[in-house]
Structures are given as structure tokens and as C-alpha cells.
Amino acid sequence: MSSCEKCRFRATYDKNPRSILGRIWKWHIGWCPGWKSYLKSLSEEDRQQLREKYSWLPRYTARRVHLQRSRAQR
């Protein structure tokens, strides 16, 4: 079992996403190499479920999506 699966900050986010610790965890997964390795270790289906649950995109993907949306609005 990965430490990401049993992370107390993640459990805090799951209970109350708007809590300070929950927000810190959500920010943290945006750049954490451990979280990225954890996602890579999962099956594609499990990975997709976590991305949907936490509305998580890798930084470069989030930036690309943002740029595409802003260009489309012009």
C-alpha cells in the first residue's frame, strides 16, 4: 500500500475539501513527485477515477487546457 493511499491529508480532504489541510493537500498533488508515481502505478481506470474525484490534471495539461480555452473565447 502506497503512503498516498493512507495519507491523513488526503483523508482530511475527502472529509472536508474546504479545510486548510485539505486545500494544502490539493495544492500539493499538483507538483508532488510521489503522487505522480502513485498515479503511474495504478491501472488506467483507477487513475481516471482519481483524476475525476479530485479534478486533478498535471500542471502542464492544466496550463494547456487554460490556453486552449482562452484562445477559443477570442
Structure pTM? 0.67
Count the domains in the chain: 1
| pLDDT tens digits, 2-19 | 788 888 999 999 999 999
Q: Is residue 61 part of a domain?
A: yes
Q: Is residue 57 part of a domain?
A: yes
Q: Cite the DSSP H helix spans in 1-74.
A: 8-15, 20-28, 33-41, 44-54, 59-73
CB atoms closer than 10 angstroms to residue 59: 9
Range of the domain at 23: 8-73
Question: What is the reported pLDDT for 31?
Answer: 84
Question: What is the reported pLDDT for 57?
Answer: 61
Q: Is residue 51 part of a domain?
A: yes
Q: Which residues of the chain have pLDDT under 70?
A: 1, 57-67, 74
Q: Is residue 3 part of a domain?
A: no
Residue indicated by cell numbers 487513475 = 47
